[in-house]
């Protein structure tokens, strides 16, 4: 069973109900303002000053735009803060590094301290292991670059 991507879920969730309702509300306000007989029934005013209807339409559009912007920003914030999970590796797991850039190819004796993975893609290259060795700095390395002892 494939796991769901939480970032994709946030982005594909659709607009919030408040955003959708405010958009419909803004459209209704604009229609009511544009049609004189309905405007008279709703507001009880027959003759209005020239800028009143424009102000009502602008206020409806600005209100909807603010809610839509908050919706987009909330999705962006939620997506940006979805973190990969880090799990400590129990026991004395060791590994041999099979790929490297510092002459450490086929170098054994690395201790494995933790596993970092993206829950939505646990089998991918994004799965990393924190390897430790006395004479080297700790480093996150892809699982495909290691052979486990």
Q: What is the 3-state secondary structure (H, E, C) of the chain?
A: CCCCCHHHHHHHCCCCHHHHHHHHHHHHHHHHHHCHHHHHHHHCCCCCCHHHHHHHHHHHHHHHHHHHHHHHHHHHHHHHCCCCEEEECCCCCEEEECCCCCCCCCEEEEEEEEEEECCCCCCCCCCEEEEEECCEEEEEEEHHHEEEC
pLDDT for 74 equals: 80
Query: Domain boundary at 80, 114, 130, which?
Result: 80
pLDDT digits (tens, 9 = 90+) for 78-91: 767 666 677 888 87
pLDDT for res 32: 84
Q: Are residues 25 and 54 in the same domain?
A: yes
pTM: 0.46
The predicted-structure confidence for 57-85, as pLDDT tens digits, reads as follows 898 889 888 888 888 788 777 767 666 67
Provide the domain limits for residue 108. Answer: 85-148
Q: Same domain for 74 and 115?
A: no
What does the chain come to in residues?
Answer: 149
Strands 94-97, 85-88: pairing kind: unpaired
CB 112 within 8 A of CB 148: yes
Using the 3D structure, point to which of 28, 47, 80 is the last residue of a domain: 80
70 shares its domain with 40: yes
pLDDT at 1: 43
Q: Domain count of the chain?
A: 2
Flag whether 1 is in a domain: no
Ranges of residues in the chain whose predicted pLDDT is under 70:
1-16, 79, 81-84, 100-105, 118-125
Residues 47, 97 share a domain: no
Task: Check whether residue 63 and residue 117 sit in a common domain.
Answer: no
Asked, for residue 25, whether it belongs to a domain, the answer is yes
């Amino acid at each position: 069973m494939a796991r769901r991507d939480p970032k994709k879920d946030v982005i594909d969730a659709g607009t919030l109900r408040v955003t959708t309702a405010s958009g419909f509300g803004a459209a209704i306000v604009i229609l009511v303002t544009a049609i004189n007989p309905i405007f008279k029934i709703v507001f009880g005013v027959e003759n209005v000053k020239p800028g009143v209807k424009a102000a009502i339409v602008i206020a409806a559009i600005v209100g909807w735009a603010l809610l839509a912007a908050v919706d987009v920003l909330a999705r962006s914030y939620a997506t940006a803060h979805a973190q990969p999970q880090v799990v400590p590796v129990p026991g004395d797991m060791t590994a041999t590094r099979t790929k490297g850039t510092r002459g450490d190819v086929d170098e054994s004796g690395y201790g494995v301290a933790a596993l970092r993975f993206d829950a939505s893609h646990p089998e991918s290259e994004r799965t990393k292991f924190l390897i430790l060795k006395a004479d080297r700095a700790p480093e996150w390395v892809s699982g495909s670059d290691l052979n486990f002892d």
